[in-house]
A = this chain, B = another copy of it.
Amino acid sequence: MNQNMNNMKRKTRQREIIKQVFQVESRPLNPMELLGLAQSRLSGISLATVYRAIKELVETEWLITVEMPGMALYYEINLHRHHHHFFCYSCSKVFEVEGCVPVETLTPKGFLLESHEIILSGQCSACMQG
């Protein structure tokens, strides 16, 4: 009878916590970072659940993928805003960077520029002070 329940997404403690972590941290996270942060709120949470939640949240576009060169994927809340990233060599955290620069001037002759990515690296302010 209750056909309406088929394939219905349920609100679970794990999924709520995973979204909370992204909101509280407000920076891109990779699956292992996310696992650690989620476990500090609910110790039993598993890596499989983290991956499952990420997958769903990317599919619904609540999260977007951040590809950092040479690293596992990071994910961040989809803010629908053009921006770039800063990678900290000390703590390996990734941060959002606002603004942009005129990269189209670099496009080689005859090439069509469709998108671009700028990755700054160095030390974040927390690591500079530590």
Contact = CB atoms under 8 A, between A and B. Distances in A.
Interface of A: 65, 67-70, 73, 84, 86, 88-89, 95, 97-103, 105-125, 128-129
A1 B107 CA distance: 58
Contact of A110 (B97, B108, B125): B125
Contacts of A105: 99, 101
20 contacts: A67-B70, A88-B111, A95-B108, A98-B106, A99-B106, A101-B101, A101-B102, A109-B125, A110-B128, A111-B120, A111-B124, A112-B122, A112-B123, A113-B120, A113-B122, A114-B121, A114-B122, A115-B121, A115-B122, A117-B119
